[in-house]
Chain A
């Protein structure tokens, strides 16, 4: 039963990934004018442009182009970056080293801070403490990540001069990026965990547990938390997506040569091979995380059907 579910989820993920390559391909090819002239911003003559177009295969029929792109993508081959002349995959893997490190620490920080705040808020709900926590959480989700990053740079880097504000080689250079990403995501985790905890506390089976004579701690740790974990795990998947998006902004501010800034620069410089690679790699990571989340979900919740209905 479980295995059948896992297989169907994996099949779904593959279909989604194929869809992602298709969307990427269409995005590049619906560019008004055409991709190559846009990429070079008409800086060269017609002959060079034709040559490049031929090199990148843009003169072939769309279906052939797509199938080739798909075939190469499956092998992890996205060609060379147009400007750096290095294989795209190599660049991305180099960038991911930094991004994954920052994202993991930020996720850890966000979960610890967010869950802690959410549990406290739900436990003391409607109290002053709850209101203060919720105000700061709402403030946290309302603060632009890039602006928070700048504030940290100004405060910790320029005023206090305790932390480096850019680059990756100085000691402690990851602290500010992790802090920025961690805090903003902790805010949304705090909000969602408070909501789901409050909802579960009002369920009938919590009353049953109390009717059995279970103490408060037992009710919370045995009956509330496991049920609350279900929506929170689902939400953690969204947080990871947020981290990926946030890393683009944070890495730009802190000049970290990670996956996020690679993605930004590929779009800004119109480096098509690099952009395609970034999108497909990014989506693959995300689809894998979704898959993991769903599997964790079905392990937590015995009610998950064989095939998801909604």
Chain B
């Protein structure tokens, strides 16, 4: 239960403004709050297991993901193949374990690209304002006019399929959302007294931005990343499902569902397992993201999807 927001509102907000959020104590209390959140901690455990499974995939996977057991094609689950086999006789469990590598790296790499571009562009727009800001804002609006997946498809069309291109496509699509939020925050920070003071003291713009402003956006950046990773994983799965993502024969959960969709009459369970892998992963990241948002910035709105 949260303390009622019914009194002391003004004092609270002032106290928050005065407190430089980059202080260590801020993150310590945020972490304490996160640790109390049982759903978030359970999600963290799930993600840890996923990461371990992905890193040590050869250890955990019973088969090579490309090995074809031609005697067992589209077989249901059996002691030999716990989750059955696909249309080429490959072990589904092994392919799901290897598939975690794709999903997790997409989440990590694509979001890093998006954050990197978004923070830089958003900061420039927010800090310099004026014509630069107007231009960047228009560009962001143009990017925001496409459904995310369509735009990623367009980039995949231009670059051709492949995992590196998936990273690029999702990263390039994701930066606008980051930039918009960072721009807003930088514009607020710019009016803060300590930034004004740094300016009066003759700090260079570069120093003000990197020393005084970006560290103060850090908690926002963490929250954005935590909230965006699951949707990045989803976009990759969708691209691979359509056939524009990770290419045959590499295992990706999305493309596995795609193949399975052709066999729902003969092997309905085939489509269920890779989908379950996606939903569990995305759910874990979403729940952890919610927890981190609540812990770091209870007032930030969830504006996702």
A residues contacting B by CB (< 8 A) are 12, 15-17, 19-20, 23-24, 27-28, 30-32, 126, 138-139, 141-147, 150-151, 153-154, 158, 188, 191-192, 195-196, 199, 202, 204, 207, 231, 235, 238, 241-242, 244-245, 248-249, 252-253, 263-264, 267-268, 270, 275, 279, 282-283, 286-287, 290, 310
Q: Which residues of B contact A154 (CB under 8 A)?
A: 264, 268, 271
7 pairs across A/B with beta carbons < 8 Å?
Answer: A199-B301, A202-B6, A263-B153, A267-B153, A267-B154, A286-B146, A287-B145
Judge whether B146 and A252 touch: CB under 8 Å: no
**Please, how many angstroms separate the alpha-carbon atoms of A37 and B6 in the complex?**
66
B residues contacting A by CB (< 8 A) are 1, 4-6, 9, 138-139, 141-143, 145-150, 153-160, 184, 187, 230, 234, 237-238, 241-244, 254, 257-258, 260-261, 264-265, 268, 271-272, 275, 278-279, 282-283, 286-287, 290, 299, 301-305
**Please, how many angstroms separate the alpha-carbon atoms of A28 and B155 in the complex?**
9
Q: Which residues of B contact A235 (CB under 8 A)?
A: 303
Judge whether B272 and A151 touch: CB under 8 Å: yes
Q: Which residues of B contact A241 (CB under 8 A)?
A: 147-148
Judge whether B142 and A20 touch: CB under 8 Å: yes
Smallest distance from the beta carbon of B163 to chain A beta carbons, Å?
17
With contacts A30-B158, A150-B257 known, what are 15 further pairs, Cβ within 8 A?
A17-B145, A23-B143, A32-B160, A146-B254, A147-B257, A151-B272, A158-B265, A188-B305, A195-B302, A199-B301, A202-B5, A249-B241, A252-B242, A267-B156, A270-B157
Judge whether A24 and B154 touch: CB under 8 Å: yes
Nearest A residue to B242 by beta-carbon distance? A264
Q: Which residues of A contact B268 (CB under 8 A)?
A: 154, 158
Smallest distance from the beta carbon of A245 to chain B beta carbons, Å?
3
State which of A15, A144, A279, A310 has its C-beta within 8 Å of the C-beta of B257.
A144
Judge whether B304 and A188 touch: CB under 8 Å: yes
Smallest distance from the beta carbon of A252 to chain B beta carbons, Å?
7
Q: Which residues of B contact A30 (CB under 8 A)?
A: 158
Smallest distance from the beta carbon of B121 to chain A beta carbons, Å?
16
Smallest distance from the beta carbon of A131 to chain B beta carbons, Å?
9
Q: Which residues of B contact A267 (CB under 8 A)?
A: 153-154, 156-157, 244
Given contacts A151-B275, A192-B303, A268-B242, contact A139 B153 (CB under 8 A): no
Smallest distance from the beta carbon of A143 to chain B beta carbons, Å?
5
**Please, how many angstroms separate the alpha-carbon atoms of A235 and B146 in the complex?**
15
**Please, how many angstroms separate the alpha-carbon atoms of A263 and B301 in the complex?**
33
Judge whether A248 and B260 touch: CB under 8 Å: no
**Please, how many angstroms separate the alpha-carbon atoms of A283 and B145 in the complex?**
6
